[in-house]
Amino acid sequence: MFEPTLPDPDTMYRALVEKDASFEGIFFAGVTTTGIFCRPTCTARKPHRENVVFFPTTRDAMLAGYRPCRVCHPMMLPGTMPDAVARLLQEIEADPGLRLTDTDLQARGIEPAGLRRLFKRTHGMTFQAYLRARRVGEAFGQIKHGESATDAAFGHGWESLSGFGEAFRKVMGASPTQATGPVTTVTRLETPLGPMLAGASDAGIALLEFADRRMLETQIERLRRLLRTPLVPGSSPFFGRLAEELQRYFAGELRQFEVPLDLRGTPFQTRVWTVLLGIPYGKTRSYAEQAKAVGDPAAIRAVARANGDNRIAVIVPCHRVVGSDGSLTGYGGGL
């Protein structure tokens, strides 16, 4: 299943005001004046429209600096949280700085491995990652609103700035000071071929890779160096369009993607990727034909290498390049 594309903001705000249960799981609402986020059916007093932002997942909301509402408990998705876990989340809400080991969890009647799987399935992160994100997200929210990194660190339970910086980098992929500048946002998308990781710069989609690809960490590091920005989990105006176009593509309703792309690379790589975009839907080329189209018939191996370095799977269709006899000769995402 795909993560749902967010409806338009006016529709979501109306659903929030009307406490429309049909929007449960579709979006979460962040209130800029209080720093909390809620589910659509929250019974708390409704904020003015200009003070509301919307997120597709609880993870996106937390990593944007918002904390879960204590009225509607958005982390407790209906039907997914056992009573012991619900009580644990309430305990964390009462003390966001709480640190829990596996022994602590077992003492509360919770099996650590099961809790880890539950959080991965419902929130896209492990329970320990949630605890870190919970604290770091709140601190990041305060830094974005003008508080110093020092005050944010000590105000959220860290005993040293070095410890805070290390935790911040684990979650945000950057230091507290770097993460307040330009960033490349990343998110996880579900597709019929499995989960994919998407990344967006200010220019457009810069990354779309299969989450289980062995080269994923290498691709992420290359992208970080190329764009010279930290990669931070979050939202981008390009993600909704990307998810919608992928859904239509896999349903056979779309043949040409229109979401903006950020194809930065070496001049040769950029030329190869641009030529890839010209391979028609439903057609294939051999590596030799691709090298000729690039303008260098002898550069077959270099073209193959540039194909392998393509960071935007599916949309930049390196999967349409096959062996000279028409056979499948290899694909980074798996044949």
Number of domains into which the chain is organized? 4
Q: Positive or negative CA dihedral for 152, 158, 161, 165?
A: negative
What pLDDT, in 10s, does the model give residues 158-190?
A: 767 777 777 777 666 666 766 555 667 777 777
Domain that residue 230 falls in: 184-250
- pTM for this prediction: 0.51
Task: For residues 65 and 116, state if they share a domain.
Answer: no
Res. 72: pLDDT tops 70: yes
Per-residue pLDDT tens digits for 106-159: 888 888 888 887 777 655 567 887 777 667 666 665 665 566 777 777 766 676
Domain final position from 71, 105, 120: 71
Under DSSP, is residue 127 helix (H, G, I), strand (E, B) or coil? helix
- Answer yes or no: do 152 and 196 share one domain: no
* CATH number of the domain within which 160 lies: 1.10.10.60
The angle formed by the CA atoms of residues 265, 267 and 268, to the nearest 5 degrees, is: 100
Residue at which a domain ends, from 42, 71, 100: 71
Same domain, 274 and 230: no
* DSSP reduced 3-state for 239: helix
Q: Which residues are catalytic?
A: 318
Domain CATH code at residue 38: 3.40.10.10
Q: Report whether 57 contacts 3 (CB < 8 A).
A: yes
